[in-house]
Amino acid sequence: MANSPQSKKRARQNERRYAVNKARRSRIRTYLRKVEEAIASGDPAAAKTALQSAQPELMRGVSKGVMHKNTVARKMSRLSSRVKALG
């Protein structure tokens, strides 16, 4: 349990950051799910627009420190190759 004022403040800050990061991760996953669903439906136009809307969200996750840069690069590369294979 936090005892000093500094550690109590740190605990409060950590809770807030956890909530923000959790929401951001959830938002990213939603965008990824939309791309996956568009690919599964077989519609190249929908898949391309879904991927284009997901890319900035993924990069925002990197800049905010929620996801690692290489992880996002790998995900975008794999998704874009799957979208390209559709059309």
Q: pLDDT by residue (tens digit) across 47-70?
A: 999 999 999 999 999 999 999 999
pTM above threshold 0.85: yes
> Long-range contacts for 56-62 (Cβ within 8 Å, ≥24 apart)?
57/27, 57/28, 57/31, 58/28, 58/31, 58/32, 60/24, 61/24, 61/25, 61/28
Domains of the chain, first to last: 5-86 (1.20.58.110)
Mean pLDDT, rounded, for 10-26: 97
pLDDT for the residue 54: 97
